[in-house]
Amino acid sequence: MQVITTPSDLGSIIKAERKRQGLTQVEFAGLCGVGITFLSQLENGKETAELGKTLAVLTTLGLDVFVERRG
């Protein structure tokens, strides 16, 4: 499990998992139903990424999101 504190942290995880699965951005964007521009910006840590689309990307990669109290 990794702690995500910035959009860049999340983008790095998404990019690494996409590459691990052997998918190009174009292929993966099509699988997720998002545009290539959105996926590129998400992987590069753009702060205004839409949450719904971001969750679709994570789901397609087989990644889950957990929220727990710090401390």
pLDDT, tens only, 43-56: 999 988 788 999 99
Please list, in sequence order, all residues whose beta carbon lies within 8 angstroms of the beta carbon of residue 70, skipping any fewer than 6 positions away.
none
Q: Which CATH superfamily is domain 8-61 in?
A: lambda repressor-like DNA-binding domains (1.10.260.40)
Give domain limits for the chain.
8-61
pTM: 0.86
Structure tokens at 2: 């990794």
Please state, in angstroms and rounded to a whole number, the distance separating the CA atoms of residues 25 and 27: 6
- Nearest-CA neighbor of 34 among 20, 46, 50, 23? 50
pLDDT digits (tens, 9 = 90+) for 13-37: 999 999 999 999 999 999 999 999 9
Q: Count Cβ atoms below 10 Å from residue 36 Cβ, excluding itself.
A: 14
